[in-house]
Amino acid sequence: MRKLWCALFLVSTVGFSMAAGAQSIGGALSLEDALNLARQNNPTYLQSTNGKRRAESQLRFAYGQLLPSANTSLSTGYRQGKQEFIGGVAFGAASDILSSSWGLNFSARLTARELANIRQAKAQLDAAENSLKDAGQNLRTIITQQYILVLQLNARAALQDSLIASNQLQLDLANAKTNAGSGTPLDVKRAEVAVGQVRISSLKAHNTAEVETLHLFQQMGVSKPDNVLLTSTFQISEPVMDINQLLTMAKSGNPALLALRSQELAAGAAYRASQGDYAPSLSFNASFGGSSQQFKDANYLVSQAQGSALGAQASCFSQDSLRRGAGLPSIASQCNQIVFTPAQAATIRSNNNVFPFRFTSNPYNLSLTLSMPLFDGFGRENGLQQAAASRSDARYNVRAEELKLATDVTAAYTTLVSDYRTVRLQEAVTQVAREALLLAQERFRVGLNSLVDLQQSRSDFQTADEGLIDANFEFHRAYAALESAVGRALR
């Protein structure tokens, strides 16, 4: 039986693989290894990490609302060289036109809500971080409980295996006594039945352990390979923690409670943000830009300029004719100076060559606006009341969690103390049952007991030993439950 107890914490047929599935690890698997794999692969836990990512993004967005927004544009266009008549008047040029433009705009807005949104986002990030810690604590509890359950079931299976050997020895002894004339065929049949029943129990125990092992690896988020050994052991010692100290630790360190407190702070910030809707807002806008327009046929502009020069010269000569008729000095020399030269034509063609990036700056615009909200159909009032109700709900949630936490910690501690006492009592009962079984075996060997008495003693020992196995692992589960309630490891 000492060998049996050494096997309680060394259990086989447990394995694991890495998240990608490409690499598997054989050999020993401790509880800490299982927890590390679960944190890397458990889908539910990995989903909880996205909450922190969203909260970090929301905080960056809240800060970004204090920065000016900017946008730029670049456009180009083409217009067919064809006149358009509007109200009988012709508009447009006879040449195709290429155009381009650019723009740069800045805008900024400052409100009390945006400042409050930063405080709210910070509180939400704290809540997300504590929620992630709470998810990690829950994962630790689940994996630890399942790990202990697999150890317990494998220990029960090991007990059944030892009973097979014990019953087989009794069957061999019954056969020997029958052959020697001191036994009966009925004893042999009863021994055969006992061997068959314990084999069935062993088969069921191993199957149950295998199924729960599969569940362990499912919770770890990896597939189960073969030939891996659970190696973690757990010591049983009398709980000496102070319940008041445990309650203080839970109130200051339980991740679920800390997450609710952060959510309460976030709800308070949301309420202040709603109050900010009553405050004035300040906004600023600035815009800059430029444009270019090029006639596809540069000779069109040259012709226009040349025609304009000829028209001016003709008008000048007409005026000169009138002056001479009135006896005034002639201005013909001035009129002769009104000419259109090839240099002017070249300049016009050069100035027309602006598409696409020779822009002419547009006038820039700056504006600063201070606005005061007056009435929006009770929208602000409704938002404020909703935020106040959410803040109140958050406070009640914190209070409810504090009450639940106090109950959970106290109940877990009292259960742990009770389970420890149960282990010690069960050890005494198992020792007595073991002594009774040894006595019954000896009496059966010398013919003072019947096989029925021996089987009854063996059944009593089996019941007591199974009770001791269960008591031991119930103690460890109670310890894990207490750690979960406190929110931290205690051993």
Confidence label for 299 from pLDDT (cuts 50, 70 and 90): confident
Into how many domains does the chain fold? 2
Q: Is the pLDDT of residue 445 over 50?
A: yes
Do 440 and 409 reside in the same domain of the chain? yes
In a domain, 260, yes or no: yes
What are the tens digits of pLDDT across the range 197-207?
889 988 999 99
Query: DSSP string covering 131-200, please?
Result: HHHHHHHHHHHHHHHHHHHHHHHHHHHHHHHHHHHHHHHHHHHHHHHHHHTSS-HHHHHHHHHHHHHHHH
Q: Coil, strand or helix: which one is 417?
A: helix
In a domain, 291, yes or no: no
Q: Is the pLDDT of residue 409 over 70?
A: yes
In a domain, 44, yes or no: yes
Nearest to 358 by CA among 73, 104, 105, 98: 98
d(CA 461, CA 448): 20
d(CA 415, CA 15): 32
Q: Coil, strand or helix: which one is 360?
A: strand
Tell me how far CA of residue 62 lies from CA of 50, 105, 120, 460, in angstroms: 18, 21, 9, 69
Nearest to 205 by CA among 158, 163, 146: 158
In a domain, 192, yes or no: yes
According to the model, what pLDDT value does residue 101 have? 93
Burial of 436 (0-12, 13-18, 19+ CB in 10 A): middle
Do 213 and 79 reside in the same domain of the chain? yes
Residue finishing a domain among 329, 358, 387: 358
Do 18 and 164 reside in the same domain of the chain? yes
Do 79 and 195 reside in the same domain of the chain? yes
Are β-strands 16-17 and 84-86 bridged in parallel, bridged antiparallel, or unpaired? unpaired
In the numeric block, which tokens belong to residue 290? Answer: 């430029």
In a domain, 290, yes or no: no
Do 257 and 114 reside in the same domain of the chain? yes
Do 235 and 348 reside in the same domain of the chain? no
Tell me how far CA of residue 159 lies from CA of 345, 428, 461, in angstroms: 111, 18, 11
Q: Cis peptide leading into 342, omega within 30 of 0?
A: no
What are the tens digits of pLDDT across the range 146-182?
999 999 999 989 988 888 887 787 788 778 777 777 6
d(CA 144, CA 477): 8
Do 318 and 436 reside in the same domain of the chain? no
In a domain, 286, yes or no: no
Q: Confirm if 143 and 34 have CB atoms less than 8 A apart.
A: yes
> What count of other Cβ atoms lies within 10 Å of the Cβ of residue 240?
5
Do 259 and 300 reside in the same domain of the chain? no
Q: Which residue has the higher pLDDT, 23 or 26?
A: 26
According to the model, what pLDDT value does residue 388 have? 93
Sequence-separated (6 or more) residues with CB below 8 Å from residue 30? 230, 231, 232
Q: What average pLDDT does this structure show over 219-232? A: 85
Do 273 and 302 reside in the same domain of the chain? no
φ and ψ of 106, to 5 deg: -125, 140
Averaged confidence pLDDT in the chain: 85
Q: Coil, strand or helix: which one is 63?
A: helix
d(CA 314, CA 325): 17
Do 325 and 440 reside in the same domain of the chain? no
Domain region containing 89: 2-280+372-486
Residue finishing a domain among 358, 387, 402: 358
Q: Is the pLDDT of residue 233 over 90?
A: no
- In the chain, the percentage of residues whose pLDDT exceeds 70 is 91
Do 147 and 15 reside in the same domain of the chain? yes
CATH number at residue 98: 1.20.1600.10
Sequence-separated (6 or more) residues with CB below 8 Å from residue 260? 127, 394, 397, 398, 401
Query: Does the pTM of the predicted model rise above 0.75?
Result: no
Do 432 and 383 reside in the same domain of the chain? yes
Residue finishing a domain among 314, 334, 358: 358
| CA triple 307-309-311, angle to 5 deg | 70
- First-to-final CA distance of the chain: 28
In a domain, 287, yes or no: no
What single-letter DSSP state applies at residue 277? Answer: G
What are the tens digits of pLDDT across the range 324-360?
888 888 888 888 888 888 888 889 888 888 888 888 8
Sign of CA dihedral 470, 471, 477, 478: positive
